Amino acid sequence: MAIGFSVEEGVAVITLNRPEARNAIDGATALELAEAVRRINADDAIRCAVITGAGGHFCAGMDLKAFLRGETVRVPGQGFAGIAQAELAKPFVAAVEGYALAGGFEIVLACDLVVAASTARFGLSEVKRGLVPNAGGLVRLPRQLPVKLASELVLTGEIVEAGRLAEAGLVNRLVPEGGALAEAMRLAGLIAANGPLAVAISRRVLKESLEWPEAELFERQNAITAPVFTSEDAREGAAAFVEKRKPVWKGR
């Protein structure tokens, strides 16, 4: 299997498992990852997902040998690696050790949160191979980093340290080498413990509101969030607080 998949206490863990190729994406990996995304989207028991890589690296991007063999690493409707353009119905946390390069970095950009080892390295190296980072690098990076820094990464193709991206706000947690997965699981557990309807609606507004006119921000927000306040989960959350117990969420 090109990926590992497990679920623990509402958190799905996807492990890119081609360590001999620094977890580069070939055709089989793309198909398996696409199926994992669909499984996460469809399973109400899964509240959050973590994606990481085996063997000390996250992902070196597209497998260039597979590219030369003519393998397809883009899945219809889900894009590069089956995830770059997919609808991710649950929050995703990237746990990055080692290299996250080219398409590997673009997988990171598709995630909601990023945990990286201090020794991790990121780069959009496509221009060095006569290619372009069109699996999210060109359109997501300037939305997640200052434009000048995004331009530097895209146009030079150079590799940068995780610390620099943490300072710029792209990395949520910087941890010692070997600690990325544990911290990502901790963050995912915090998310999974919350009301699933509230998380989903909050996440939707966070994403969609970036494109809303300022004069319409609250009107649009209120239209989307109003059902949360009359939901069963809202009453359960309040009751659990009053009764000093853990809430039992229904997602409605």
Distance, CA of 104 to CA of 137 (rounded, Å): 10
Residue 106 known to be catalytic: yes
Count of CA atoms in the C-beta half-sphere (13 A) of 50: 28
Which residue from 136, 146, 76 is spatially nearest to 106, judged by alpha carbons? 136
Catalytically annotated residue among 8, 126, 208, 232: 126
Give the sheet arrangement for strand 121-123, strand by strand: 99-101, 121-123, 160-161
Catalytically annotated residue among 97, 106, 219, 232: 106
Distance, CA of 49 to CA of 127 (rounded, Å): 31
Q: How far is CA 71 from CA 114, 126, 211, in A?
A: 29, 18, 36
Residue 126 known to be catalytic: yes
Distance, CA of 175 to CA of 183 (rounded, Å): 8
The CA angle 3-166-48, to the nearest 5 degrees, is 40
- For 146, the token pair is 């200052």
Residue numbers annotated as active site: 106, 126
